Amino acid sequence: MPTDDIIQKVSDRYARAASTGEQMCCPTGYNFDDLRSFIPDAVLKISYGCGTPAGLDTVQTGETVLDIGSGGGIDCFEAARLVGPSGRVIGIDMTDTMLEIARHHAPIVAENLGYPRSNTEFRKGMADAMPVEDASIDLIISNCVINLAPDKRKVFREMYRVIKPGGRFTISDIVSDQVVPQYLVHDAAKWGDCLSGSLQVQDYIGGMVDAGFRAVHHIKSSPWQSIDGVHFLSVTLTGYKLPDIVNKEAPLYATLCGPFSTVTDELGQQYRRGVPQPVDAQCAQLLRSAPLRSLFLIGPAPITLAAGDPRWCAILPEQAPCVWQGAYVILTGPIIGAEDDDHHQYYRGVPLEICSKTLHVLTQDAYRSYFTIYHRNSNAVEGEAVSCSPEGNCC
C-alpha cells in the first residue's frame, strides 16, 4: 500500500473517531477519575493509546516535553500538570480535527490547573518530519502512534534529532513477536487498529539503537491480542541520547555481577560474570546509565568476583522435571544478548520458548525487568513433566 494512502486512511480513521466518538481498539491504563479533575470529558472520550507514558515517573518539573501524535491532548495535558507552570509541552499531530479539539481545551486545562497561562502548544506535523528545533526536547512521549508511521526508522532519527544530549524518550506502542504478513500489512482497516504497522520487537528496538539511542529497554509490557498466530504486545520503552563525553577518564574496568552469566552491551562488548573487563569512556558511560548500573561494578582497578561474594548474583533452576506450558520470553532489556546459568541464549527482540523451570527463574526480581513474557497457546496445556538434558541443563 502506498505511503500516502496509509497516511490518509489513518488520518481519516482518527478524524472520524473524534467526530463520532468511535472507540478505537487499543489497551490503555489511564486513571480517568484522576484526569477528569482537570481534563474535560470531550478530550477523555477520544483518548486512544496502548499505555500511559506521561503518567509514569518520567516527567520532571520544568522540562520541555514533546508528544508525538498528541491527538485530543490527553497525554500533553497530563504532562503539563507534571512539568508545572515553568515547564513546556509541545504536541504534534497530523489530523486537523484532533488539533482543533486539543487547542480549544488547552486554556481550559491551564485554568483548571491554576496556571496563569497555558504551557501547552499544538503543532500540525508528521512524526517523520517534526516541526521541532534540533536538540530542544528533554523528554519525548508517544502513545501508540509510531506504530502508525510507514517509515518508523525515519521517525526514530527525527526523535534523536530533536532530543537534547542527556535527554530521553518514554513511548508506548504495539509490537509483534514475528513478521506481520503482507495480507495484514495491506489491510487498511488494521492500520488504524495498530496492527498492520507493527514491527517485530527486535526491529523496533534495533531501529532506535541505529538512530543513536542507548540503553533502550522496556519498563512495562503486556500481551494484547493474536491474529493468525502473530502475537501483538503492548510495550512501554525508554531510551537515552547520552551526553557527549567531554573529559575522558583514566582506564576503567567493569565487572558483571549477574544474574546473567554473560552479557553483550549495545556497543558489542561482552562481559562474563565475575571477570573484570577493560572499558573505554563510552562503554563506561553506557554501563553507568540507570537501567544498567545495577549489573556492573565499575572502577579504576579490576575487581574479580567469585561465587559466595555477596555481590555475585546467580539464580539456578530447580533440579526437577519441567513442564512445557506455551510460555515464550523476549529479551527487552538494555542489552543485545545474554546467557543464563542454564546456558539459554537470549537475543534482544527474539522470542524463545521456555519451560516451567526457566519461567520461574526469569520471573524472579533479579531477572524480571529484562524480559517480556507471554504465552502462545490458545488453550490449556496438559503436557506431562519431562526430564531435562543429560548434562543437567534445563530444556
At 371, which CATH number? 3.40.5
Query: Is position 206 within any domain?
Result: yes
Is the residue at 223 inside a domain?
yes
Interatomic CA distance for residues 203 and 177, integer angstroms = 10
Confidence at residue 383, expressed as pLDDT on a 0 to 100 scale: 64
Tell the residue number behind the cell numbers 509483534, with chain if given.
176
- pLDDT of 392 higher than 50: no
Per-residue pLDDT tens digits for 256-280? 999 999 999 999 999 999 999 999 9
Same domain, 336 and 233: no
Q: How far apart are CA 366 and CA 294, in angstroms?
A: 10
Nearest to 123 by CA among 113, 136, 112, 111: 136
Output the average pLDDT for the chain: 88
pLDDT single digits (tens) 132-142 = 999 999 999 99
The pLDDT of 325-340, averaged and rounded, is 97
Range of the structural domain that residue 143 is part of: 3-240
pLDDT of residue 379: 74
Instruction: Tell me the pLDDT band of 82, cut-offs 50, 70 and 90.
Output: very high
- The answer to whether residues 198 and 334 belong to one domain is no
154 and 42 inside one domain: yes
Compute the average pLDDT of residues 82-96: 96
**Residue 293 placed within a domain:** no
264 in any annotated domain: no
Give the three-class secondary structure for 130: coil
pLDDT of 372 over the 60 cut? yes
Find the range with the poorest average confidence among 79-83, 190-194, 220-224.
190-194
Q: Which pLDDT does position 92 carry in this prediction?
A: 97
Residue where a domain stops, chosen among 240, 265, 284? 240
Asked if the model's pLDDT at residue 88 lies above 80, the reply is yes
- For residue 91, the Cα-to-chain-centroid distance in whole angstroms is 19
Q: Among residues of the chain, what percentage have pLDDT more than 90?
A: 70
Smallest CA-to-CA distance from 101 within 46, 55, 142 is with 46
Residue listed under C-alpha cell 526514530: 156
Residues 6+ apart with CB under 8 A from 251: 278, 300
Domain assignment present for residue 58? The answer is: yes
Residue 378 has pLDDT above 90, yes or no: no
Are 235 and 346 found together in one domain? no
- Identify which has the larger pLDDT, 395 or 235: 235
Confidence of residue 15 (pLDDT cuts 50, 70, 90): very low
Say which range, 58-67, 192-201, 352-361, has the weakest mean pLDDT.
192-201
Residue predicted with more confidence, 188 or 76? 76
Query: Residue 190 has which C-alpha cell?
Result: 488494521
pLDDT category at 395 given cuts 50, 70, 90 is low
Give the count of beta carbons closer than 10 Å to the beta carbon of residue 63.
Answer: 20
Query: Is residue 351 located within the same domain as residue 236?
Result: no
What value, to the nearest 5°, has the Cα angle with vertex 94 and ends 56 and 199? 60
Cα–Cα distances (Å) from 154 to 50, 139, 151, 210, in that order, read: 22, 18, 6, 11
CATH number of domain containing 113? 3.40.50.150
Going by pLDDT thresholds of 50, 70 and 90, the confidence category of residue 8 is low
Tens-digit pLDDT profile for residues 110-120: 999 999 999 99
State pLDDT tens for residues 289-304.
Answer: 999 999 999 999 999 9
User: Using the 8-state DSSP alphabet, how is residue 391 labeled?
Assistant: T
Domain C-terminal end among 240, 261, 279 = 240
Number of domains in the chain: 2
Give residue 27's pLDDT.
Answer: 52
Greater pLDDT, 21 or 326: 326
Same domain, 227 and 336: no
What value does the CA radius of gyration of the chain take, rounded to a whole number of Å?
A: 22
Q: Domain for residue 52, yes or no?
A: yes
pLDDT, residue 6, reads 46
Are 212 and 97 contained in the same domain? yes
Q: Taking residues 134-151, what's their average pLDDT?
A: 93
**73 and 194: one domain?**
yes
| CA atoms in the 13 A half-sphere facing the CB of 331 | 19
Report the pLDDT value the prediction gives residue 390, as an integer from 0 to 100: 43
Please check the confidence at residue 237 and state whether its pLDDT lies above 90: yes
Look at residue 274 and tell me if it is in a domain.
no
Among 198, 224, 240, the domain-final residue is 240
Q: What is the mean pLDDT of residues 36-60?
A: 82
Q: Given pLDDT bands bounded at 50, 70 and 90, which one contains residue 389?
A: low
Residues 354, 229 within the same domain: no
For residue 251, being part of any structural domain is answered with no
d(CA 224, CA 374) in angstroms, rounded, equals 10
Instruction: Indicate the residue type of 9.
Output: K
**Amino acid 164: pLDDT:** 98
Confidence of residue 30 (pLDDT cuts 50, 70, 90): confident
pLDDT at 28: 61
Same domain (yes/no): 341, 233? no
**Kind and range of the H or E run holding 123:** strand 120-124
